[in-house]
């Protein structure tokens, strides 16, 4: 099934698995540099989940212009959040 679009159910299973991974990561936070790295990793996980939702639930996979615009906006926003998170964790 190379090149075939994944089913909504398969994407849902991925979203649930990524949500569980994020929950485990958030529950195992500790102090120091590991906390900052985990926080940034959680933001990256958020980007992956948001992109899956945009591509397969909102069907932006068929609209390259909107897909790239939405991905760029989300990436910029989450990068700004990561910078703020890291700045706060270093203070």
Instruction: Look up the pTM and report it.
Output: 0.82
Residue 3 lies in a domain: no
**pLDDT attached to residue 33:** 63
Look at residue 2 and tell me if it is in a domain: no
Phi, psi of 7 (to 5 degrees): -70, 160
Give the total number of structural domains in the chain.
Answer: 1
Domain containing residue 58: 8-90
39 in a structural domain: yes
In a domain, 84, yes or no: yes
Phi, psi torsion values for 59, nearest 5 degrees: 55, 40
Q: What is the mean pLDDT of each run of 10 residues along the chain (91 residues)?
A: 73 96 87 79 94 92 92 95 90 75
- Tokens 């990068």 belong to 79
């Amino acid at each position: 099934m190379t090149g075939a679009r994944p089913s909504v159910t398969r994407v849902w299973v991925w979203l649930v698995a990524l949500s569980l991974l994020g929950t485990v990561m958030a529950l195992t936070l500790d102090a120091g540099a590991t906390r900052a790295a985990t926080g940034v990793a959680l933001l990256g996980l958020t980007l992956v989940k948001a992109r899956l939702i945009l591509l397969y639930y909102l069907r932006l996979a068929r609209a390259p212009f909107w897909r790239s615009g939405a991905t760029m906006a989300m990436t910029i926003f989450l990068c700004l959040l990561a910078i703020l998170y890291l700045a706060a964790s270093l203070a």
